[in-house]
Amino acid sequence: MSFRNYKDKIEEGDTVILYLSNNLYALDVQREIKNKKGEMIENVYQTPFGALKVKTLIGADYGTKIELTKGWGHVLQPTPELWSLTLPHRTQIIYTPDISMILLQLDLVPGCVVVEAGTGSGSLTHALIRRVRPHGHVYTFDFHEHRAKIAQEEFKDHGLADFVTAKHRDVLAEGFDKDLNGKADAVFLDLPSPWLGVPHALAAIKEEGGRFCSFSPCIEQVQRTCLALQEHGFQEITTMEVLQSEIKVSRRTVPVRDLSFLKQKSSISPVEEKPSSETSYVVGALPQSNPGHTGYLTVATLPPVYVRGKSKKDDDNISSENGEKMVVDENV
C-alpha cells in the first residue's frame, strides 16, 4: 500500500525502493517467499552489497539507512518516478521526461477522467493515477490478457485500485467501453496504430471537449495519426520530441592563464608571461552523451461539440502551412 499515501513506517506488504550506490531496486516487503519447490522460506534479498533479510525492514522508518555485509543503502517510499526506474518490464515503457510532458499536454488535474491504451507495464498509468486522484479516475486497456491481469493485480497491491480500472480489451477492434462515451477529459494512446484509435478517442471525450496525446517511436505513425486527428475535427495538432539533458553542477579545477602581461606596452618594457595557475570553480557541465530518441508525442485538442462541425470545415480548407492538402504515402 506504500504508493497510496506518504507514511513513516514500513509495513509488511509494502513495495519499497532500495537505493544502493546509485542503483535502485523495487522490493516487496514479505517475511516469506516460495522457493522453486513451492515451499515457504525466509525472504532474503540478494544485493551487490550482500544479503538483506527483508523482515528486518518491517517497522523501520522510510528513508532509513540499512547496513549490509559489504556496504549500506537506503530504503525509500516508491513514487511513480522511482517505479518507472525499477518496475518489472513486460513491455517497452514510457519514462519520466515524456511522462511529465504528457501530463502537462493532457491538461490533467485532480478530478479528471483519463482513458489510456495500452497499459503495458503500467509505467505511465502510475503517474496518471497520482495526477488525477483522489476524485478522478484512470481507465486503462490492454489487449494482452496476461499483461492486463498483472497490471490489475499490481494496482491493487499498490493500494491504487480505487483510482484505476484496468481491463483486457482490444480497443482498436472494439473501442473503449460504451459506458465511457462522452466521459473522458483526455485520451492517451501508446499503440502501434494510434491513428485507428482516433475515432474511439473522439467518442470517449466529453462534449465540452478535451485533449488527446499519442506516443509513437516512428514518424510514419505520427503522420497517419495527425491526418486522422485532422479528419476527425481535432485542432492544435502538434508533434514534439522530449530530449532531457541534465546539467551536472560540480567543482572543477582548471588552469587559468595570467594575461596581465598584455597590459604592458611591449616596446617600452617587455614583460614575461607568468605560468598558468590552477583555480577551482563551480561549473555546470553538459552531459558526456546526448539522450537518444524514444518517441514522438502528438497532441491535439478536441473542441467543444457546438464548434466541432465548424472547425472541421475550416480544417478542410486550411490543411497545411503552405495551403496544400496533407497526404501520407500509403506505401510507407
Ligand X SMILES: C[S@@+](CC[C@H](N)C(=O)[O-])C[C@H]1O[C@@H](n2cnc3c(N)ncnc32)[C@H](O)[C@@H]1O
User: Which residues make up the interface to ligand X (CB under 6 A)?
Assistant: 91-94, 117-118, 120-124, 141-144, 147, 170-172, 190-192
Nearest-approach distance from CB 110 to ligand X, in angstroms: 21
142 is in an annotated binding site: yes
Cross-strand bridge partners of residue 282: 251
250 is in an annotated binding site: no
User: Which SS3 state, helix, strand or coil, does residue 221 take?
Assistant: helix
Nearest-approach distance from CB 72 to ligand X, in angstroms: 32
* Amino acid of residue 231: E
Please state, in angstroms and rounded to a whole number, the distance separating the CA atoms of residues 298 and 6.
34
Pick 75 or 138: Cβ nearer ligand X: 138
Pick 55 or 168: Cβ nearer ligand X: 168
Nearest-approach distance from CB 228 to ligand X, in angstroms: 15
123 is in an annotated binding site: yes
> What cell was used for 71?
556496504
14 is in an annotated binding site: no
Q: What one-character-per-residue DSSP string does 262-331 give?
A: GGS-TTTS--PPPPPEEEEEEEEEPPSSPPPP--EEEEEEEPPHHHHHHHHHHHHH--STTSPPP---TT
Q: Angle CA(294)–CA(214)–CA(188) in degrees, nearest 5?
A: 120
Pick 73 or 78: Cβ nearer ligand X: 78
Nearest-approach distance from CB 121 to ligand X, in angstroms: 4
Q: Are 199 and 232 in contact (CB under 8 A)?
A: yes
Q: What one-character-per-residue DSSP string does 90-129 give?
A: SS----HHHHHHHHHHTT--TT-EEEEE--TTSHHHHHHH
61 is in an annotated binding site: no
Q: Are 136 and 112 in contact (CB under 8 A)?
A: yes
Nearest-approach distance from CB 254 to ligand X, in angstroms: 42
Pick 127 or 237: Cβ nearer ligand X: 127
Pick 55 or 90: Cβ nearer ligand X: 90
Residues of each annotated binding site for S-adenosyl-L-methionine = 121-124, 142, 190
